[in-house]
Amino acid sequence: MTENTQRLTFAEEIMLLLLDDEEGEMASVDAWMLKCILAGAVLMDLALRDRIDTDLEHLFVIDETPTGDTSLDTTQAILAAAKDDDRRSAKTWIEQIASGSENFALVALKRLVTRGILVEQENRFLWRLQSRTYPMINGEAEREVRARIQAILFSDEVPDPHDIVIINLADACGLFGAILGDHDSEQVRERIEHIRHMDLIGQAMTNAIREIQGAVALSGYGAPVV
């Protein structure tokens, strides 16, 4: 399966949600929080591939088989190197991975260019308008990330595991106001909360990100990405 036909990773979908579709500029997000959210996105991709799991307190590797994705395999190796008696919480792992050398945002943007979804111009990533949709692995009609999320939130449709995760991550980013508008996002808040509790590891990851957000807000640490 080629890179262009693979389903987008969670990090790629989050970057699409953060980009303005006309100007190609990034929404203002605290730099440290963006790293943590994308680290959480990578961990969720590993979870969806049954490489990691979580209990009430710890996140750990259950299958060390490589995924074939360099970013995922590098992160998986970091988790696998931890001793059995040194299991750590989702929050601790997110912070450790986020503070590493891997630039998940840049990796995601470069992959979106390779897929033909974005074009890099004057060091900015702009939508290639004729490629605003992308093929889904299951062969369903191509739909943008935003349209897919909206369709789920404004219906009783049971989301698949992938969409549960992206809704969790988008909520952790505080993106629903921008995606839906403040009024509509309040209308579907109960639906978002319902979906957020459908996946235990996604819930653990979102709660960890929210803990980090709270610490950032209290400390004033971090800087905005413009």
pLDDT tens profile 156-214: 888 888 889 888 888 887 778 777 777 788 888 899 889 988 887 878 888 888 888 77
What value does the mean pLDDT take over residues 55-65?
Answer: 89
What pLDDT score was predicted for residue 146? 80
Q: What is the CA 125 to chain-centroid distance, rounded?
A: 18
Distances (CA, A) of 225 to 19, 72, 159: 11, 24, 31
Q: What is the pLDDT of residue 144?
A: 65
pLDDT at 169: 86
Nearest to 124 by CA among 12, 14, 19: 19
The amino acid at residue 32 is: W
Q: How confident is the model at residue 136 (pLDDT cuts 50, 70, 90)?
A: very low
More confident residue, 2 or 85: 85
Note whether residue 211 is domain-resident: yes
Determine the pLDDT at residue 129. Answer: 40
User: Which pLDDT value is given to residue 85?
Assistant: 67
Asked whether residue 1 is assigned to any structural domain, the reply reads no
Report the CATH number at residue 32.
1.10.3630.10
- Please, what's the b/e burial string for 47-69 (b: 16 or more CB within 10 A of its CB; e: otherwise)? bbeebbebeeebbbbeeeeeeeb
What's the DSSP call for residue 53? E
Q: Is residue 187 part of a domain?
A: no
153 occurs within a structural domain: no
pLDDT at 38 over 90: yes
pLDDT for the residue 175: 78
- Which residue has better confidence, 179 or 142? 179
Of 213 and 151, more confident: 151
Per the structure, the complete domain to which residue 62 belongs is given by 10-135+200-225
- Tell me: pLDDT of 148 over 80: yes
Does any domain span residue 166? no
Asked, for residue 106, whether it belongs to a domain, the answer is yes
Assigned token pair, 22: 């006309």
Q: DSSP code of 85?
A: G
State yes or no: pLDDT of 8 exceeds 90: no
Most confident of 22-26, 29-33, 86-90, 104-108: 104-108
For the CA atoms of the chain, what is the radius of gyration? Answer: 17
Total-model pTM: 0.79
Query: What's the number of domains the chain is made of?
Result: 1
Give pLDDT tens digits for 82-132. 876 677 888 999 999 999 878 898 899 889 888 877 777 665 655 544 333
- 63 in a structural domain: yes
In a domain, 170, yes or no: no
